[in-house]
Amino acid sequence: MSIQVIVADDHHIVREGLVALLEREHDIEVQAQARDGMELVRLAREHDPDVVLVDVAMPCMNGIEAMRRLRAEPMRCKMICLSVHAEPQQVAAALDAGASGYVLKENSFDELARGVRRVMANQLFLSGELVGEMLLGRLQSRSHGGSPDGSGPGRASATGSALTRLTPREREMVQLFSEGYTAQEIATQLHLSAKTVATHREHVFAKLQIQGIAELTRFALREGLSSLDVSRPRA
């Protein structure tokens, strides 16, 4: 029986290329394609795939947040992140969000196909160069007596403590505001009132102790909630 897959990437040509390559594999079938995290969550609920391939940097809802949503759903799918970013912090965030694999976009398609089969066998799969980076980070943190992010014993990382203060809806607001959406546009997109969006924004500012959208955008970029290579989808 074929492995049922959904591909999520905001770049149309990348998405189509992945689909074409995956469909050449005798044991893999692509069920659907998603342009952003919101669409991925909706399609996963509809199709109940075996594996979702998730671009980390997507508009509206990024891949990390989409995986958090999927992990909270009563579904069986495995998740593999696709990214150009190899930083250990980004990889750790993906794994914490529920990913079973992390593949760099610079690698060959054969590695991605191997990853799909490995996660279906309930194994963790990381691109080869990432394994060394993650192990080195853990060894360095142990040698300094700190946590894996180097924040020191008994102290949570700035990323972890900041993000855990935000609700899923507030993280969604951070990404959308940082991508340049206005409060009214966010209200329309999420089917909320403008007043509700403004309230969420004030809660985010208070929790993060920041003063405006520019500082919020810097936070979103630093913590991986948004990316400079994400552009707003055209109407």
Structural domains in the chain plus CATH codes: 3-133 (3.40.50.2300), 158-222 (1.10.10.10)
Q: What percent of the chain has pLDDT over 90?
A: 38
- How far apart CA 57 and CA 68 sit, in angstroms, is 14
Instruction: Give dist(CA 2, CA 117) in Å, integer.
Output: 11
pLDDT in tens, 76-128: 899 999 998 887 778 888 888 889 999 999 889 999 999 999 999 988 888 87
Q: What is the pLDDT of residue 150?
A: 41
- Confidence at 151, pLDDT banded by 50, 70, 90: very low
Q: Are 133 and 89 in contact (CB under 8 A)?
A: no
Question: How many angstroms from the chain centroid is the CA of residue 112?
Answer: 17
How far apart CA 109 and CA 114 sit, in angstroms, is 9
pTM of the complete model? 0.65
- Count CB-CB contacts under 10 A for residue 187: 17
